[in-house]
Structure formats: structure tokens, C-alpha cells
Amino acid sequence: MIEVCSLNDLPENEIVKKEIENHSIILIKKNEKIYAVENLCSHMSYPLDDGELEDFEIECLYHAARFDIRDGSAKCLPATEPIKTYETQIKNNKVFIEIT
Ligand code: FES
């Protein structure tokens, strides 16, 4: 796993974009848990970090597809394919991510 940042660097319920080993990744802290998804909409490959977060769903700014940040599943059209999610861990107040 790769160390990404300190847990305190991530504000609660905000979309934070990080470049990690040539991957553009969105990190979201919710209730002391970290969710990580690829910063790439499965509809037309626009970035998702311009979008809005509501509860556990991120909405793409471009055509309003929504994805669940817990499993990457597409929740509404025009997206039909999921987005990639990454495993995360918190150890000693640091955030780690598994890049696969
Ligand atoms: S690029 Fe995201 S909904 Fe179209």
C-alpha cells in the first residue's frame, strides 16, 4: 500500500483529488473512513472531481451521471458502467491506498 497523506489533511465530506503513481484519484473522508475512486467518469471519461458529492454518491458535472463511492456502481444514466474503486487503510493517522 502507498502512503497518500495524513488523515487530518482530508476534510470531511469533500472531494479531494490526488495524483498517485500516475493515477488521478479522488479521496473522500466520511465518518473517519476513506473512500477512493478513480477520477474518471465511465460515461465519457471526463474528470469527476469537478462534480458534487451527496451522501455516498458523486455526481458528474458534465452529464449528471452518479456513482456510489463505496463500490463504484453507476446509479443513473447516462453512465451504465461502474468506476474503479481502491482499497484504503488508515494507520497511525496516515492514509494508505492500494493501487492495482
Ligand atoms: S462524462 Fe460524466 S456523465 Fe458524461
Q: DSSP letters of 30-41? A: ETTEEEEEES--
Taking the C-alpha atoms of residue 41 and residue 81, their distance in angstroms, rounded to an integer, is 9
CATH topology of domain 2-97: Rieske Iron-sulfur Protein (2.102.10)
Measured between alpha carbons, how far is 14 from 76 in angstroms, rounded to an integer?
Answer: 21
For ligand 1, whether the C-beta of 15 sits within 6 Å is no
Expressed in angstroms and rounded, the spacing between residue 40 Cα and the centre of ligand 1 is: 9
Pair 16, 34: CB distance under 8 Å: no
pLDDT at 100: 79
Q: What is the pLDDT of residue 40?
A: 98
pLDDT of residue 32 exceeding 90: no
Residue 29 alpha carbon to ligand 1 centre in Å: 23
The residue whose CA is least distant from atom 1 of ligand 1 is 44
Residue (of 30, 28, 23) closest to 2 by Cα position: 23
Q: Whose CA is nearest to atom 3 of ligand 1?
A: 63
> Which of 59, 53, 65 is closest to 12 using CA atoms?
53
What's the average model confidence in pLDDT over 18-40? 95
